[in-house]
Chains A and B, each alone.
Chain A
Amino acid sequence: MRLFHVVALSALSAVSAPAQAQCTWTAKDAWVKRQAEFFDDSKHEWSNDSLRTALLEAAGLSAPLAAPVQHGVFVEGRAPAINAPAMLDRLKQLASTRGSVWPTRSVVGGAGTHAVYLLVRGDTGLARAALHRMMEAGPSESPAADVATLEDQLRLAWGRKQIYGTQKPSGADGRVILAPMEDSVHADLRREDAGLPPFRLGLCMAAKAR
């Protein structure tokens, strides 16, 4: 397991200009298709259009989203907070109210669910409640790639290791370092399940994003 870390990081540090040229994806890749299917709002309906509009506005999103929406790469390791206090308060109230309708895809559409992810990830307490709601809602209602990325972020915040390899804080010298990870042997299995790019591609994308 540890060996894999060394190999992966060696590969990352060895990413040169020609190698980066292969750091690409196409619309036919399974993980891109999976995200496109979830976030394509032309094929789904939602019940609360005013909440959706407010979420998109608060998160600075404009629909429709173009896949891949979620690369699962955070070089800085910390999610940037979005300054939308009114919407964050509204989400906090929803999260703390038993029986409340959480903004899932059938409520606010695919783009709306991604807006929720972008909003909550900067607030650990809210992110925890949101993750629970997203997991409960199931695969047709919650974006798996966002769920996975949020879980990694929270695990690190709780002092545990990430499991999808989405969090890659920059080192002091600016090099990309993979945050502690458990069971990296099966990382691609989990990433495939979550609709994230394969681990090596993710590392390549992280290096490119520096």
Chain B
Amino acid sequence: MTLRLFLVALACVPYVAAAQASTNVSFAKEVVGREPKSFAPMVGSWVMSSDAKDKVLFVDGRVWKRGQPAGGLADKARELYGARNEEFIESIKAFAYFPIAVYKGLDTFENGDITVRFQMLGGTLDRCAGILFNVKPNGDYLTVRYNGTEDNVVLWTFNKGVRKFVKRAPDAVPLELGTWHTLKVSVHGTALQSWLDGKPMVEYTLPEPVSGKIGVWSKTDSMIEFKDFTFTPAVK
């Protein structure tokens, strides 16, 4: 009887997410000074670097040039999207202003949490660190990012090469350069939440559920180190 009541109650809950195991992307086998193997840098200069004892993923905006995707783009796009790679490449070229690196180890992320730790080192025009998600074969994506020149967290959409502001977190949060911080995004159905160092930031109801690849995001001349990229998929 109790079990039946529980099952009935469960059926009445519109969306129940059960968390699966977390995956913390390890950089242990990555080689400092080379491009990462676990992420596919599609735009910008992404190399493995070190911070104290940790290996970190470094996006180096000093070598950023507007309109220039990362080297070997065609091969990386083919690896990620197979026959649909040309569509992806065309779209990526349209917004090469924004460095992105796509995580190779997960085909599709729909529900759950994505967390990354980041440290801003510099950038004269921008100091941006973001979580990339809902990356489609046509190059569309969503990102929640922190910008150290504006001290804020914002959700952006990228559709057909056009960047669109969606929502800004109400509070400005100044962060010191050279210190580590944690950005987290949680997606359940169309409900999106984000946190910076555990503090709630952007909450938003998306027009449709997400389904795509994930990764890390940056902007123009930002110099950012990333580590502890973790995702925890949830199932309906």
Contacts and interface: CB of A to CB of B under 8 A. Distances in A.
Interface in B165-215: 174, 176-179
A139 B221 CA distance: 9
Interface stretch (B12-20, B73-81, B118-126, B137-145): B118-126
A56 interface: no
A48 B62 CA distance: 30
A189 B174 contact: no
> Interface range on chain B: under 10, 10 to 19, 20 to 34, or 35 or more?
10 to 19
A193 B59 CA distance: 13
B135 to A, nearest CB: 26
Interface range, A side:
20 to 34
A186 B124 contact: no
Given A135-B149, A189-B223, A192-B62, A144 B124 contact: yes
Which secondary structure dominates chain B's binding surface?
loop
Max chain A CB contacts within 10 Å: which of B122, B176, B221?
B122
Contacts of A183: 121, 176-179
Interface string A122-157: 000000000000010011000010011001000000
Contacts of A175: none
Nearest to A144: B124
B66 interface: yes
B122 A193 contact: yes
Nearest to A190: B122
Nearest to A182: B176
Contact of B178 (A138, A186, A192): A186
A193 B178 contact: no
A175 to B, nearest CB: 26
A78 interface: no
A160 interface: yes
Contact of B177 (A135, A186, A192, A193): A186
B61 interface: yes
Given A186-B178, A193-B221, A163 B66 contact: no
B220 interface: yes
Contacts of B61: 193
Nearest to B125: A135
Interface of B: 61-62, 66, 121-126, 149, 174, 176-179, 220-221, 223
4 shortest interchain CB distances as A-B pairs: A183-B178, A190-B122, A183-B177, A186-B121
Interface of A: 1, 135, 138-139, 144, 147-148, 151, 160-161, 163, 182-183, 185-186, 189-190, 192-194
